[in-house]
Structure 1
């Protein structure tokens, strides 16, 4: 007989957490990896599945986009920062100055945005 396995209250498998972090660690702030690991380990399988489907932006791809199209604000639009994207577009990357500064900042900004997305997908935990 086939049994239906419910994952409603089952704790997430630690190997799944490890695999998730190994895959996404390069796109998350280094200082937050342990915090994320702890919170992910306390989730149920169902909650973890919701976190897994959160789209994570690749910080290297964002750097390349910023390098090629940063004057037009494409990097900021991709991060969901529409206001900054429009401003950057209208000023053509702040006459190139803002574009140059963003080349140094965009990778960390991408990691920070990814962290915020993951944290907002998790249920509130008081750890």
Structure 2
């Protein structure tokens, strides 16, 4: 893939990953063709959607199910969001967790 195409994908999907990982992702993107790279980048979870789900449905654990933390989602569902405390804490942590999960998912693909 050309450098311009990899830079375009980073510009579009870079907000879905922790900032310290973008250089590694950029290097990996250059090793594959554009169609494969764009499909893999599009399969990541949007942190903005995760925070919206956390605000409106976080007490039911749906935010944790959304990012792939099934066990934490079940625990959050059973405890009603830790009696509301866990829900409030997740409002501050869910975007970072989503970005970390996206990077982990991106690394597992390769």
TM-score normalised by length of structure 2 = 0.91
From the two aligned structures, give the one with the greater helix fraction: 2
1:14 matched to 2:8: no
d(CA) in 1 for partners of 2:98, 2:74: 18
Q: How does 1:1-127 map to 2 (within 5 A)?
A: 12-41=1-30, 43-45=31-33, 49-54=35-40, 55-122=43-110
Unaligned runs of 5+ in 2: none
Count of equivalent residues? 108
Unaligned runs of 5+ in 1: 1-11, 123-127
Q: Report the aligned-residue RMSD.
A: 1.2
What secondary structure does 2:68 align onto? coil
What secondary structure does 1:44 align onto? coil
TM-score normalised by length of structure 1 = 0.79
Contact 1:76–1:85 (CA<8 Å) still a contact in 2? yes
List, as ranges, runs of 4+ consecutive aligned residues in structure 1 with deviation greater than 4 Å.
none
Larger Rg: 1
